Amino acid sequence: MVRVLLAITLIAIGASGWFAFNNVSTKIEGLTNDLASMTRQRDTANQGRDAAKEAQEAAENRASAAESNAARLGDRIGTLQQAVTRQTQRADEHLANLNQATADLVESRQISERWRQFEMEYGTRDSIRQRLATLEGVTNERDNFIAENSILLGRIEKLSVELSRYTGTSVKVSLPPNLAGKVTAVDSQYDFVVLDVGEEQGVREHGEVLVGRGAGSEAQLVGRLRILSVDKSRSIANIMPDYKNGDIQAGDYVFSERN
């Protein structure tokens, strides 16, 4: 009986051990399969990561290469633009020179044509030079004649003035039409004034000048003077009472009647 129980016990223990081993073996096999699957997934993930990293590096390399190419192209474009600008400037300069040369040529032709017409009307350069030389001689003779005539007229006027002192006649003495000066001093007791113009300005004895004051709308004729004596740069004149419109003062301006 004991042996039977022992045998049954051993069989039960063996059966339970077999079932336990079988369960453990099944779990080990499942875990092994799970480990293999996870390992494959890990390897796949690592491969994907490596591929993505390589793709990123390749993309970065391509981007860097593209930037380098863009920079080189930008430099080349800038160089070409500078070259185009220089060539444009040279072309503009050549065009300006051409236009100037064309204008000079047209002007030269016009001058040549005008000169040809001038020679047809007035003669050649040599004949014109001869005429100018002759004209210069005639002009010099005329100037000398005018100078001598002026001297003679001056002498005649002086003689006429001297003669008038003895005959008591009035003599008209002409003064330069552009004569202009000022009154520097006035002697109201004897009715004479001192002027800042004299022989160097063309003043002559017995000549007459007008006296004015003010300018523009305020200008007025104050009186008339007759020259008594003349120095180089000043003269003395009498106040003519018949033409006196007021008291003559220092600073009043004088001018010839035809000025």
pLDDT, tens digit (0-9, with 9 covering 90-100), for 24-55 = 567 777 777 777 777 788 878 778 787 778 87
Our count of domains for the chain comes to 3
CB of 170 within 8 A of CB of 215? no
pTM for the whole structure: 0.41
Query: Mean pLDDT of all residues in the chain?
Result: 79
The pLDDT of residue 136: 77
Q: How far is CA 153 from CA 32, 75, 148, 164, in A?
A: 152, 91, 9, 16
Looking at 122, 137, 153, the residue that finishes a domain is 122
Task: Indicate whether 195 pLDDT > 60.
Answer: yes
CA gap 183, 220 in Å, rounded: 15
Q: Are residues 116 and 225 in the same domain?
A: no
pLDDT in tens, 103-143: 888 887 888 888 788 777 777 777 777 777 777 777 777 77
Q: Are 159 and 223 contained in the same domain?
A: no
pLDDT at 122: 73
Alpha helices in the chain (DSSP H): 2-122, 125-167
Which tokens in the block code for residue 67? 């930037």
- State the pLDDT at residue 18: 57
96, 161: one domain: no
Highest mean pLDDT pick, 11-20, 98-107, 146-155: 98-107
Instruction: Kindly state the tokens that stand for 185.
Output: 């001093």
Closest CA relative to residue 205, chosen from 164, 246, 168, 166 = 164
Q: Residue 252's domain is classified under what CATH number?
A: 2.40.10.410
In whole angstroms, what is the distance from residue 64 CA to residue 66 CA?
A: 5
User: What is the pLDDT confidence band of residue 193, given thresholds at 50, 70 and 90?
Assistant: very high
Q: Is 202 left (phi over 0), alpha (psi -120 to 50) or beta?
A: left
Question: Residues 142, 65: one domain?
Answer: no
Same domain assignment for residues 1 and 106: yes
How confident is residue 192, by pLDDT bands cut at 50, 70 and 90?
A: very high
**On the CB side of 131, how many CA atoms lie within 13 Å of its CA?**
7
Look at residue 29 in the predicted model and tell me its pLDDT: 72
Point out the domain boundary residue: 136, 171, 206.
171
Co-location of 167 and 230 in the same domain: no
Domain that holds residue 234: 173-256
231 is written with which tokens?
A: 């120095």
Q: Look at residues 84, 103, 122 and tell me which one is the last residue of a structural domain.
A: 122
**In terms of Cα–Cα distance, which of 254, 253, 250, 252 is closest to 185?**
250
- Mean pLDDT calculated for residue range 61-67: 78
93 and 205 together in one domain = no
Closest-CA residue to 125 (of 136, 110, 115): 115
Question: Position of tokens 């202009």?
Answer: 180
Q: Are residues 23 and 62 in the same domain?
A: yes
Q: Is 80 exceeded by the pLDDT of residue 99? A: yes
Structure-token pair, residue 35:
């480990």
SS3 193: strand
Strand partners, 212: 221, 253
- Greater confidence (181 vs 219) lies with 181
- Of the chain, the percentage scoring pLDDT greater than 70 comes to 79
The total of other beta-carbon atoms located within 10 Å of residue 210's CB is: 16
Instruction: Check residue 33 and give its pLDDT.
Output: 76
First to last CA, the chain: 181
| Residues 109, 42 share a domain | yes
Let me know whether 154 and 177 are in one domain: no
Residues 3 and 108 in one domain: yes
- pLDDT over threshold 50, residue 259: no
Residues 128, 44, single domain; the answer is no
